[in-house]
Amino acid sequence: MEGLIKVSACLESPQSLEDLQYYFNAYGELRHTITNKPFVYNYYKNEHERNHKRYRILGDMITLHVYEVLEKECKLERITIPIDACDEEPKSFFFTSKEILSRQTNLFVLLQDSGVIRAGQWGQKVIFHHSLAKGTQIPYIKAALKDNGSIIVLNPNDNFVEMKEETQTMVKKEEEFCSPETRGASDLFRTQKKLTVPKRCCSSPEEHTSYVWDQFISRSAAKNVSFIAHGYGGLVFMDLLCKKSKEVMSKVSAVAFIDSRHHAQHQAKTEPEIQNWIRSHCRSWVLSTKPLDRPTGSLRKLDCPKVSAGTENHELAPSITLQSVFRFLSRSSKSQRRAVSSPHTMVTRSTTRNKSL
């Protein structure tokens, strides 16, 4: 009887996947600890609200599990932002390789879609129903770290902190830390029992990405910076490109868009220099029934080349395109190095003859 009470308490107030009677097997698949069966949403019959709560809590536990893998297995550091935050201020964070600012190597920046997904994830539904390998950024991170590369794993959807409504004096204090655009906005997010306070420098995916760019990416010693952007992440990168065009175009060697929601024709329609850069440095993998890497769609003047992602599933697209994406990024970084190191003088017969004398 005591054992049943303990299990019930764990299910009502879980602290880990094990408390919810789930674990990841050797293949990274989510399995029930007792039945060893895949995840089932309708765990409680005819109780939608209870099932949804369980799904949401399990999603939070998966997020914590992914964070643990990033730190322990991938050896990444968790960086708290804003870097000048005081103890009481709501904070966000992202993950990065060690000594990111001083390493002169290839730097890869991962920028995921919008929604509940946090750092290290491409799609939570895929983690539930497929595996960690298909739903998380872990395979991308390991590929980036191979051959001494560096990585930044952004966390663009961690924008707010929930607080109890009775702590209104705390909210007033938090407003001091908000950016001019979000200061005083806490009233807009007020609910019956909770109020939501935006995190300074991270109140939106665009603000988060811009802050990490200013404080870390732009200051890094990386020889080549590559972005991999999925879904809404593509729109966020385009926002960064348009706002900081000269910095980004001089620092970034390649961008891989995966089923991206960006629209180059609208976001960069007045800047011919940006349009030319997009065509030369970017490639977009789009959902299609065609085999992977087949040209698809019309080559619009204001956009980059488009190829098939080899699937029509948005959340599976990153895992399917992984090898293709890194081939493109590798070729782009090599081309960038050749362009920088190649002499501007023309090789002629006379110069060749003089060198041999």
What pLDDT, in 10s, does the model give residues 185-197? 444 444 445 688 9
φ, ψ dihedrals at 2, nearest 5°: -60, -35
Q: Are 117 and 124 in contact (CB under 8 A)?
A: yes
Question: Which of 179-183, 226-230, 343-347, 352-356 shows the highest mean pLDDT?
Answer: 226-230
Out of 6-20, 96-110, 136-150, 151-165, pick the least confident.
6-20
Domains and CATH numbers, the chain: 1-73 (no CATH), 77-159+199-341 (3.40.50.1820)
The residue among 155, 148, 89, 84 whose CA lies nearest residue 118 is 155
Summarize the confidence of residues 276-303 as an average pLDDT.
87
For residues 149 and 163, what is the distance between their CA atoms, to the nearest angstrom?
39
Burial class (CB in 10 A: 0-12, 13-18, 19+), 80: exposed
Half-sphere exposure of 49 (CA within 13 A, CB side): 0
pTM for this prediction: 0.83
Sign of dihedral through CA atoms 311, 312, 315, 318? positive
Look-up of token digits 């990444």 = 76
The residue among 75, 68, 51 whose CA lies nearest residue 17 is 68
Length of the chain: 357
Q: What is the mean pLDDT of the chain?
A: 84
What pLDDT, in 10s, does the model give residues 32-55? 999 999 999 998 888 999 999 999
